[in-house]
Structure 1
Amino acid sequence: MRLNLSTMEKLIGDLDVLSPQDTEATEAIHLLKDENRGNKRKLYIESYGCQMNYADSEIVASILQKEGFDTTSDIAAADVVFLNTCSIREKAEQTVRYRLTHINGLKKHKPELLVGVLGCMAERLKAKFLEEEKIVDLVAGPDAYRDLPSLISQVDEGQKAVNTFLSREETYADISPVRLNSNGVTAFISIMRGCDNMCSFCVVPFTRGRERSRDPHSIVAEAQDLFAKGFREVTLLGQNVDSYKWSPEENSKAWIEKNGINNVVNFANLLELVAKVHPDLRVRFSTSHPKDITDEVLYTMAKYENICKNIHLPMQSGSSRILDLMNRGYTREWYLEKAMSIRRILGDDCGISSDMITGFCTETEEDQQDTLSLMNIVKYDFAYMFYYSERPGTLATKKYTDDIPLDVKKKRLEEVVIRQREHSLIRNLLDVGKVHKVLIEGFSKRSDNDLQGRTSANKVVVFPKGTHKKGEYVHVLVEECTGGTLIGKVVNS
């Protein structure tokens, strides 16, 4: 497919990649569906930040449903409003504070409204949050959700309620999540909680605690249950899925006999177990860490057609010097070797996405060029791109000076965004003329005459609906593309 300069510029302008102006997209609101079982009190939740927060909100809904709460998507109808928050960047926290200002207006007209803050921001600020935000009645960290019924009772009795205790054991493995606002096709399964990596820029180890893995029995059982209910894709979630490990001391005799596993269950083993649930159940995962992902995982992906060929492999920086300051545990060369292993074992069609931070402490123009040059080599299909935001309590805040001017951070971020737009387009153009197996997730965003789904490489494909329905697999011939979307038609396999 040949493109002249004007056509290329138009396509680049159409790219649906994250830009400096679009960072709010990563704090997208995730709402509850309406569920009326005749209960007296209604729960409303908004989730901000990562997929882990969305999954946690589903756990919260499950816990409170058993306590007699219905769920609602209408905040005006709610008796209890929870904001499940993110602390990864200052902008994420500001978004929550602005939202609380709006909720304050609702509470003035409905004084009995209970307002709670959950998640990472609650964990970071703890009881201080009640003083800063006068309308907040309840604060609960990520490991305290089982205590929510008790905390709500305390508020009902006229007290403020706080629980930000971080656990070394809690995985919520026994709780069946309520699927919030679900399309009925795709679902998240949390396989582990917390993080031990201590990247110097990151607040997650302080807000989500130490790493612990959920037992494989419950993960496989949840995947089986989802498939039986009509779901056709699961995403295994963890801050660092590649460090998943389940101790053999916990393996029951029945489990060993049934699955033939009597040693440590690592992430490659877990992937295989979930893939075996059913060939029609697609399996995705997020997030991988470059220092921990193994060839064993890649070969397991290659072995099973239903394990999607897409890996989110955060680079953060292309400079070994900056990576060392970030305490990432790998060098530029190590990262590049991992990316090339993905291409070698899984082929060029495997999607690779990334995270990138510009303007980290002491970053030079040479460091910036290292990032751009690594992008040129790997050519990511998609990336989340941000400039560095100093977070209180992190190692970087304690050890380094945030010495890069904001205008320089933004300029470097713009360079990264432009480069990624070019690469996203290049990667999508490679799919034109190819047939992809697509799982239909619903109508396209622009027209009810079209359906959309994703390829194994996690690319969105739009095509005429014909007689096809959500939840079906179809084969789509890609006829054209923009930088963010593939466009085609259904063909016979």
Structure 2
Amino acid sequence: MPRAEEMDQSLSAMASYGDGLKVKFITYGCQMNVNDVELVRSLLLSSGYVETDDVKEADIILLMTCSIREGAENKVWDELKVLRKIRRKKGVVGVLGCMAERVRHNLLTCTENVDVVAGPDSYRDLPRLLAIARCGSMAINVQLSVEETYADVVPVRKDKFSKTAYVSIMRGCDNMCTYCIVPYTRGRERSRPMNSILDEIRRLSDEGVKQVTLLGQNVNSYRDLSEISFLSANLAEPGVAPGFRTKYKPKRGGYNFLTLLDKVSQIDSEMRIRFTSPHPKDFPLEVIQLIKERSNICKQIHLPAQSGSNIVLDAMDRGYSRESYLELVHRIKTVLPNVSLTSDFIAGFCGETEDCHRESLDLIKHVVYSFCYVFPYSQREKTKAYRHLRDDVPKEVKNRRHQELAGAFRETALKHNESLLGTKQLVLLEETSKRSSEHLRGRTDGGVSVIINKYYNDGSGLVELKPGDYVVAKIISANSQTLQALTLQTTKLKDFENL
């Protein structure tokens, strides 16, 4: 029987090299999870593993999971049952991400043959965990970190030819909204060093990427404290937006989101910059003004409201009232008259009455969002709402309110999109349309999806357009989700304002 020291050496050797074993990734949830898969892919490929798209030929199957709603977790449990039938205990199955953190004990004791459980801050440990699992034992690491940002890991994107990319700038969240599981599954808020972010975006620019979206649970509270100089420690602090409050003491010194956004926008004048998701409290006028001044920072702002009722907002502990939210919307629209606003809403939160619900419907109609994410409330263990509030809205009522909110949003989205009819829009072409190989799909500066013919006549003949091209497009048709447009000419981003 091998000694413990020999076993450790054997595991170390296995962890350092994957022996060409094939890994299949299955991703659920938000874009943060897609970005996390890019990190894991980088770590495993550098350890000798290879990727496959075929579940049946995979030696290892890793599920990147989401816990924000019950429905998201149910999809994973269903997938594990399917994998059990396909795999019949062969190979290694791992559950990564938020669900691994939240229900780790259930995963290890379930009958779906989960071999590896790894939380969002333990991806560096995956080679070792997989080595343990390959030896026939279960392996788990769900330790949360107050420092881990994976700043030195270069993400490996699945589609290396894509003209759009997502760049993580921070991890975790400190806001502790009563309904939200994120602080418990992704840990406390910490920011990636600014130089690491800028280096990644420069690499993406060199690779021909035309749009970068800065990612974080609350991007506007970004604060790089890794290199505090006298200058950075004495920078003026934009602070919390007027009428809003914060539940934690804001960090001071270092480089804030305003500084980061400023520097990112200067890397490549032909690269569009977007960011998601912010908290409304972190939208001081200085950030809005910078968006106005930089043509490559998209005039699209995601402004999660969650509810239009002060009663519900207070129960959610969001840190603002309906009135302060609308005042922020007014300030944004004053500086950015053509801004495209998007939002999140929860239907049927604890204590929500029909009057509260009507206030949310009214807010959606008043603001005129171009897009909204709307979900029925799903109670999550560990959250303050789970511990202290009653989930007292019946499921059928939640579902009805959900449908009514979605219907209200579709009306405002149609109104917003129809206002663009006949206008000329700068469209970045992103990919071939899923419905027709003869069309391309792109987005306006405001983030609305546009379908354009793959070919257009530039006056001397037909020209074939391709992903990564900027075009001046005339909007000829609109519904609540998509625009149809005619290409007038190709252009550069920096030249569009002068056309």
- Per the alignment, do residues 133 and 334 of structure 1 end up closer, same or farther by CA in structure 2, a change over 3 Å counting? farther
| Deviation digits for residues 304-334 of structure 1 (CA, Å, limit 9, x no counterpart) | 1001111111110001111010011111111
The alignment status of 1:232 with 2:210, answered yes or no, reads yes
The alignment status of 1:62 with 2:42, answered yes or no, reads yes
- Per the alignment, do residues 227 and 161 of structure 1 end up closer, same or farther by CA in structure 2, a change over 3 Å counting? same
Counterpart of 1:78, as a letter, is A
Q: How does 1:71-220 map to 2 (within 5 A)?
A: 71-108=51-88, 111-181=89-159, 183-220=161-198
Q: Distance in 2 between matches of 1:363 and 1:412?
A: 10
TM-score of the superposed pair, with normalisation by structure 1: 0.88
| Deviation digits for residues 390-438 of structure 1 (CA, Å, limit 9, x no counterpart) | 1111100100111111121112112111111111100000111111111
Partner of 2:12: none
Q: Distance in 2 between matches of 1:431 and 1:316?
A: 27
Partner of 2:347: 358
Q: Distance in 1 between matches of 2:486 and 2:216?
A: 35
Partner of 2:459: none
The alignment status of 1:426 with 2:415, answered yes or no, reads yes
| Deviation digits for residues 30-67 of structure 1 (CA, Å, limit 9, x no counterpart) | xxxxxxxx962111111111111110010000000000
TM-score of the superposed pair, with normalisation by structure 2: 0.87
Partner of 2:372: 383
Counterpart of 1:357, as a letter, is I
Counterpart of 2:202, as a letter, is Q
Q: Equivalent residue of 2:330, what SS?
A: helix
The alignment status of 1:43 with 2:23, answered yes or no, reads yes
Q: How does 1:10-25 map to 2 (within 5 A)?
A: none
* CA positional deviation for 1:134: 3.6
- Per the alignment, do residues 276 and 117 of structure 1 end up closer, same or farther by CA in structure 2, a change over 3 Å counting? same
The alignment status of 1:320 with 2:310, answered yes or no, reads yes
* CA positional deviation for 1:250: 4.2
Q: Distance in 1 between matches of 2:159 and 2:86?
A: 23
Q: Distance in 1 between matches of 2:332 and 2:27?
A: 32
The alignment status of 1:275 with 2:265, answered yes or no, reads yes
- 5+ residue gaps, structure 2, are 1-17, 234-251, 456-463, 490-498
Q: 2:393 aligns with which of 404, 414, 417?
A: 404
Q: Distance in 1 between matches of 2:347 and 2:116?
A: 36
The alignment status of 1:442 with 2:431, answered yes or no, reads yes
In the comparison of the two structures, how many residue pairs are matched?
447
- 5+ residue gaps, structure 1, are 1-37, 257-261
The higher-RCO structure (CA 8 Å, 6+ apart) is 1
Tell whether the 8 Å contact from 1:174 to 1:218 is kept in structure 2 after alignment.
Answer: yes
Q: Distance in 1 between matches of 2:438 and 2:258?
A: 40
The alignment status of 1:372 with 2:361, answered yes or no, reads yes
Tell whether the 8 Å contact from 2:329 to 2:367 is kept in structure 1 after alignment.
Answer: yes
* CA positional deviation for 1:291: 1.5
Q: Distance in 1 between matches of 2:187 and 2:196?
A: 21
- Per the alignment, do residues 182 and 412 of structure 1 end up closer, same or farther by CA in structure 2, a change over 3 Å counting? farther
Q: Distance in 2 between matches of 1:432 and 1:251?
A: 50
Q: Which is worse superposed, 117-126 or 337-346? A: 337-346
Tell whether the 8 Å contact from 1:116 to 1:138 is kept in structure 2 after alignment.
Answer: yes
Tell whether the 8 Å contact from 1:183 to 1:442 is kept in structure 2 after alignment.
Answer: no
Tell whether the 8 Å contact from 2:193 to 2:226 is kept in structure 1 after alignment.
Answer: no
The alignment status of 1:485 with 2:475, answered yes or no, reads no
Tell whether the 8 Å contact from 1:248 to 1:265 is kept in structure 2 after alignment.
Answer: no
Counterpart of 2:426, as a letter, is K
Higher Cα Rg: structure 1 or 2? 2
* CA positional deviation for 1:76: 1.6
* CA positional deviation for 1:487: 0.4
Q: Equivalent residue of 2:308, what SS?
A: coil
Q: Equivalent residue of 2:319, what SS?
A: coil
Counterpart of 1:126, as a letter, is R
* CA positional deviation for 1:131: 0.3
Partner of 2:329: 339
